[in-house]
């Protein structure tokens, strides 16, 4: 598995919970931990789990905001991406769910879910938080991107894209599998 994992996180909750989350997330910084450069809270301090060891606070060796923050949000939905070492920041994701649940007052009104992939697409995965537990499905069997590109002739290469032809369809399959699991529990 490669070192960097990108995790796209989506949260559905009440307007009050989403507004609170977006305001707090937008004030956060990442980078060196602990933050000593200014008085803004570090993302780990704001959304990390309560634990002594850093890895237990976030679920990975390090975490940073991808592309600077919230990518999209409405009154009841927000979407953003994080990068972390090797795996998704699972403990941080669970803490975000817990915080949203606390603001909403009930877990049924909060949905935290998303997808992740490492830089070599081994693995890719989808997840959803269910009653404080992450349910996930992974795929470790995607072809190597370099080998896939080598198989494509030069004239076809311009019109072809590894993500569109290989990764995205694999995500659709494992998302379908996760949806089926979630219906059963």
pLDDT in tens, 91-110: 999 999 999 999 988 757 89
Place of tokens 């949203």: 100
pLDDT tens, residue by residue, 30-74: 988 888 778 889 999 999 999 999 999 999 999 999 987 899 999
Between CA 159 and CA 7 the distance in angstroms is: 27
Q: Is the dihedral of CA 81, 27, 106, 134 positive or negative?
A: positive
Please say whether the beta carbons of 30 and 65 come within 8 A: yes
Nearest 5°: the CA angle 117, 118, 122 is 90
Q: What pLDDT does 34 receive? A: 84
The structure tokens listed for 174 are 């494992």
Helix or strand holding residue 117 (H, E): strand 111-118
């Amino acid at each position: 598995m490669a070192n960097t994992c990108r995790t796209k996180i989506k949260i559905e909750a009440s307007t009050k919970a989403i507004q609170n989350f977006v305001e707090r997330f937008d004030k956060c910084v990442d980078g060196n931990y602990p933050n000593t450069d200014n008085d803004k809270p570090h993302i780990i301090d704001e959304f990390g789990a309560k634990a002594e060891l850093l890895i237990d606070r976030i679920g990975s060796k390090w975490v940073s905001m991808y592309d600077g923050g919230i990518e999209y949000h409405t009154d009841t939905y927000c979407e953003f991406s994080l990068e972390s070492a090797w795996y998704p920041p699972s403990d941080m994701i669970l803490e975000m769910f817990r915080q949203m649940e606390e603001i909403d007052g009930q877990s049924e009104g909060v949905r935290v879910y998303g997808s992740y992939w490492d830089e070599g697409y081994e693995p890719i995965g989808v997840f959803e938080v269910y009653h404080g537990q992450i349910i996930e499905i992974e795929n470790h069997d995607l072809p190597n991107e370099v080998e896939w590109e080598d198989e494509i002739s030069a004239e076809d290469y311009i019109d072809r894209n590894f993500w569109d032809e290989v990764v995205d369809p694999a995500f659709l399959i494992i998302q379908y599998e996760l949806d089926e699991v979630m219906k059963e529990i």
